[in-house]
Structure 1
Amino acid sequence: MGNQDIVQKLWNLCKVLRGDGITYHQYVTELTYVLFLKMMKETGNEVILPEEYRWDSLTERHGIALQQHYRQLLLDLGSQGNETIKQIYLNATSNINVPKNLEKIITFIDQLDWYSAKEEGLGDLYEGLLEKNASERKSGAGQYFTPRPLIDVIVKLVDPQPGERCNDPAAGTFGFMIAADRHVRSKTDDYFDLGEKEAEFQKHQAFTGVELVKDTHRLAMMNAMLHDVQGKITHGDTLSDIGSNLKNYDVILTNPPFGTDQGGELPTREDLTYTTTNKQLNFLQHIYRALKANGKTRAAVVLPDNVLFESGVGAKIRADLMDKCNLHTILRLPTGIFYAQGVKTNVLFFTREKTDKDSTKDLWVYDMRTNMPSFGKRTPLTVAHFDAFVAAYTAEDRMKVEDERWNVFTREDIRKKDDSLDIGLIADESLSAYGNLPDPIDSAEEVIGKLEEALALLGEVVAELKAIETKPVSYEENKSSLAKVAEASGVYGNE
């Protein structure tokens, strides 16, 4: 059984927990608690765990006794012992209320083909689970997960080197840094070509990150540990004072969260030159300021379209970026590759120069969006889709590249457009007399997804009503059930 088969089987377990009212994202977090203990046993690392909380302590208990032991385990591991363990179990609570469901999960995990999983890599197994979670529209986890082919291409082009300090200020599940670690390992025979001090630096200091969301930080810690990446992953907000101390990096790779701060709040940092409620613009400021100003440091950042054309403060930040950095390439990404449909994104590649004025001379833009397939579950994004872009990016003479998607703009061209970077898109062939019609299969799949979501909500209502049918129903319980019915049917208000 390969890792993909194991991931699918683990994912099917979620159906067991739907009756417990557990969401997909909660399920992955719950699995993380249990999988950590099992993986510590499989890798011979149980010594870092208190003896009373090792894997066998779960398999030898049943029913209420198992549930009580498990909840005490979560509480104690989050407050004592090894720092990595404390980070993974910090403030951990179980959402599993039915003891037999917990027992099913533990029994199922215990019986999996762990020999095959170890052969393929436990880190890859766990990352497959995170990707599965991100691909489920209802999980809401897509915002934390950058597609693996995109990460691999970005890392290949930015090319982190041994001895460089790499950082992701919006780490998510730490995918960029894990890929950067793999990249350097592949060039150094898994670090065996390096000296002892250099290898220690790579394992413990080279790859770091910051993640704001507690449960996502937990997943990042687990992901890093299973890939033997031991750099610091801070739980906090880069746009707070924490970010003021994140400086002097050689490489920054990141996909900051989309959206505006709730309530229109400004970042609490005082060292950012321009103030705005736009998170991505604030992250962009942080990134180019956090690179060493030596002409060699570089960054690649995934940003939505609005960052390219937002006026006012947005234009000032883009001008400041092009003064301090050589913004040499923008990749206009296709839609559908992120798990929030319709999101239009780009990758900005730049190096931090020694000067703070007129660092950008020419900007190359590659349009991978127009006249491209509709990516999604039926047409998954692969590394091969980036081949033409990689060839253009790495060409010795970019001027000699013959590709209609590849165009250059001078800094003067951009100034004439009021520093808008919403440039480089080619003519859209789909804009015919019939209009730009959506793919009928994609439309049908979207309808099916919504129907499935509605059925799941109605199923929760039925389960709740069955659970309380033997006792009087309170006003609040009745109101809650009716609200779910309304949500499932698309009816809102007092109907």
Structure 2
Amino acid sequence: MVTGELKSKIDNLWEIFWTGGLTNPLDVIEQMTYLMFIRDLDDADNVRAKEAAMLGLPHKSIFAGEIQIGDRKIDGSQLKWSTFHDFPAAKMYSTMQEWVFPFIKNLHGDKESAYSKYMGDAIFKVPTPLMLDKIVTTMDAIYEQMEQIKSADTRGDVYEYLLSKLATAGVNGQFRTPRHIIRMMVEMMNPKANEIICDPACGTSGFLVAASEYLRDRKKQEVLFDRQNKEHYMNHMFHGYDMDRTMLRIGAMNMMTHGVENPYIEYRDSLSDQNTDKEKYSLILANPPFKGSLDYDIVSADLLKVCKTKKTELLFLALFIRMLKIGGRCACIVPDGVLFGSSTAHKAIRKALVEENRLEAVISMPSGVFKPYAGVSTAILIFTKTGHGGTDKVWFYDMKADGFSLDDKRTETKENDIPDIIERFRNLDKETDRKRTDQSFFVPKEEIAENGYDLSINKYKEIEYVPVEYPSTQEIMTELHEIEMKIGEEMQALEELLGLN
């Protein structure tokens, strides 16, 4: 979470844009994103150079030698943030406008790549050299503060805080997924080097970035030091779709900054006939829009066969099943209503998960997880597509704390169930003897079917009532009389002290 001095610096940066004449929040976010990307390119290039030196591998910097920009050749080092941030304001402004921006727009050689598609129409909108100078100085201070915090998630948190300024939620109920929840879901799914990963409602690519970081950190040898696996990781592993071009642009830059050269990030209405993907992906990670209501005419016909509804959260579940390969896995966030809704469509999608696939886990999350953007209660569903059933028993976990207070402030706390959730999920064989009064337990498929495929944890959780013994009325009255007498004695002593007697 972004708090204190860092939050103040980001607010100050926002204020610089605002007072400088850029008042559209989307424009501000885009310009900030470009500048963060330009700075991150310099940092990432330095990191890769160090890694290559340590491993004895060749490395060619993207800033090496002379770089052709239009009809001129420029010394590549002039395009580095660490070089031009010391220039006088006027020179910095002309460097950014004439050299750096054209450079990042044409950075990716493949004109069909996600990056090229969404950077092609990028425009540098900072109006004056003085304003750019202020922005660069403030951003340097922000990065310095981030460096001091030394949390792997700080950059993501800064991004999320910036995005939170756009709106609390979009028209279809989209809102940002907290980084620690994304990371928990990725850890539970434990992606492999040969995965084909998709988020059909990707936004800024939070899930795809987290999956790429997990593979780089946990399976570096297997992913990056195997030629075939590395080529797959860079060009074929990550797929994201969204209907917001600004988010797609941010998502493409986010992935590239995190070392994925060519993610497949596409403009697409995932629920329409425009999306023809079937049995294509081995892993889906998503937090699809809630509370959206669509016109039947634009929804893919084969999704309506699974559950005829206008509710986006149900249609996305049907979509995930369709898009997964046999044996493919999904971890997705759903609003609580999906778990117990009584409509025909609600029951149909839950029945499909339980009877036609293998539903593995339902993790109930407290309503404060998405604050301050939304107070909706949510759950995580984890399932494997089998096409022929396979659900034997479903593991339920009642998350009570996620490491942050559950109010609008979301301050860090010691109470955190996330490490326990990951540990228990990875060792489900040890969960079989747990009672329904515990924080996690199994429920057999037959019982779920008997309850109309209700997946809410409260349907199955047992609460242990501990009898409390209270003193008798006579004892309470005696105690009150004693207190009354004591008050009388003390009042009399006080009156004597004050000479009122």
- Give the secondary structure class of the aligned counterpart of 2:395: strand
| 2:255 maps to 1:254 | no
Partner of 1:306: 337
- Give the secondary structure class of the aligned counterpart of 1:241: coil
AA of the residue aligned to 1:365: F
Partner of 1:195: 226
C-alpha distance in 1, partners of 2:326/2:86? 55
- Name the CA shift for 1:381/1:413 in 2 (closer, same or farther; >3 Å): farther
C-alpha distance in 1, partners of 2:309/2:329? 24
C-alpha distance in 1, partners of 2:414/2:102? 41
AA of the residue aligned to 2:116: K
Partner of 2:29: 28
- Name the CA shift for 1:303/1:108 in 2 (closer, same or farther; >3 Å): same
| 1:328 paired residue among 357, 360, 363 | 360
- Name the CA shift for 1:346/1:73 in 2 (closer, same or farther; >3 Å): same
AA of the residue aligned to 2:122: A
- Give the secondary structure class of the aligned counterpart of 1:91: coil
Q: Which has the larger radius of gyration?
A: 2
C-alpha distance in 1, partners of 2:421/2:146? 36
AA of the residue aligned to 1:17: F
Q: Which moved more, 1:15-24 or 1:327-336?
A: 15-24
Partner of 1:133: 162
C-alpha distance in 1, partners of 2:366/2:68? 45
Q: Which moved more, 1:123-132 or 1:218-227?
A: 123-132
1:272-291 equivalences in 2 (<5 Å) = 272=303, 273=305, 274-291=307-324
- Name the CA shift for 1:368/1:193 in 2 (closer, same or farther; >3 Å): same
- Name the CA shift for 1:375/1:116 in 2 (closer, same or farther; >3 Å): closer
Partner of 2:302: 271
On the 8 A contact 1:337/1:376 being kept in 2, the answer is: no
- Name the CA shift for 1:279/1:64 in 2 (closer, same or farther; >3 Å): farther
C-alpha distance in 2, partners of 1:112/1:134? 16
Partner of 1:464: none
Report the TM-score, using the length of structure 2 for normalisation.
0.70
1:270 Cα shift? 3.1
Partner of 2:135: 105
- Name the CA shift for 1:361/1:8 in 2 (closer, same or farther; >3 Å): same
1:246 Cα shift? 5.3
- Give the secondary structure class of the aligned counterpart of 1:298: strand
Partner of 1:232: 264
- Name the CA shift for 1:77/1:279 in 2 (closer, same or farther; >3 Å): same
- Name the CA shift for 1:125/1:405 in 2 (closer, same or farther; >3 Å): closer
C-alpha distance in 1, partners of 2:176/2:107? 30
- Give the secondary structure class of the aligned counterpart of 1:332: strand
| 2:389 maps to 1:386 | no
- Name the CA shift for 1:254/1:383 in 2 (closer, same or farther; >3 Å): farther
1:381 Cα shift? 7.3
C-alpha distance in 2, partners of 1:193/1:33? 27
- Name the CA shift for 1:384/1:223 in 2 (closer, same or farther; >3 Å): same
Partner of 1:14: 14
C-alpha distance in 1, partners of 2:414/2:256? 26
- Name the CA shift for 1:15/1:36 in 2 (closer, same or farther; >3 Å): same
C-alpha distance in 2, partners of 1:127/1:189? 21
- Name the CA shift for 1:290/1:104 in 2 (closer, same or farther; >3 Å): same
1:77-476 equivalences in 2 (<5 Å) = 82=109, 83=111, 85-93=115-123, 100-109=130-139, 126-134=155-163, 140=169, 143-191=174-222, 194-230=225-261, 231-245=263-277, 247-261=279-293, 264-272=295-303, 273=305, 274-294=307-327, 297-310=328-341, 311-339=343-371, 340-353=373-386, 355-356=387-388, 358-369=389-400, 374-380=406-412, 384-393=416-425, 394-401=427-434, 404-424=438-458, 426=461
1:373-392 per-residue CA deviation (whole Å, 9 max, x = no partner) reads 63543434789422333344
AA of the residue aligned to 1:405: Q
On the 8 A contact 1:150/1:383 being kept in 2, the answer is: no
C-alpha distance in 1, partners of 2:361/2:142? 46
Report the TM-score, using the length of structure 1 for normalisation.
0.71
Partner of 1:432: none
- Name the CA shift for 1:312/1:124 in 2 (closer, same or farther; >3 Å): same
Gaps of 5+ in 2: 46-60, 465-501
- Give the secondary structure class of the aligned counterpart of 1:250: strand
C-alpha distance in 1, partners of 2:249/2:98? 17
- Percent identical across equivalent pairs? 24
1:161 Cα shift? 1.2
1:125 Cα shift? 5.8
- Name the CA shift for 1:182/1:246 in 2 (closer, same or farther; >3 Å): farther
C-alpha distance in 2, partners of 1:49/1:119? 38
- Name the CA shift for 1:190/1:314 in 2 (closer, same or farther; >3 Å): same
C-alpha distance in 2, partners of 1:177/1:37? 21
- Give the secondary structure class of the aligned counterpart of 1:243: coil
1:299 Cα shift? 1.0
| 2:38 maps to 1:37 | yes
Q: Which moved more, 1:368-377 or 1:183-192?
A: 368-377
- Name the CA shift for 1:197/1:337 in 2 (closer, same or farther; >3 Å): same
- Give the secondary structure class of the aligned counterpart of 2:332: strand
C-alpha distance in 2, partners of 1:192/1:253? 19
C-alpha distance in 2, partners of 1:153/1:244? 30
Partner of 1:459: none
1:216 Cα shift? 1.0
Gaps of 5+ in 1: 430-495
C-alpha distance in 2, partners of 1:171/1:350? 19
- Name the CA shift for 1:162/1:78 in 2 (closer, same or farther; >3 Å): closer
C-alpha distance in 2, partners of 1:81/1:108? 28
Count, aligned residues = 422
1:119 Cα shift? 12
Q: Which moved more, 1:175-184 or 1:407-416?
A: 407-416
1:16 Cα shift? 1.7
- Name the CA shift for 1:154/1:214 in 2 (closer, same or farther; >3 Å): same
On the 8 A contact 2:366/2:401 being kept in 1, the answer is: yes
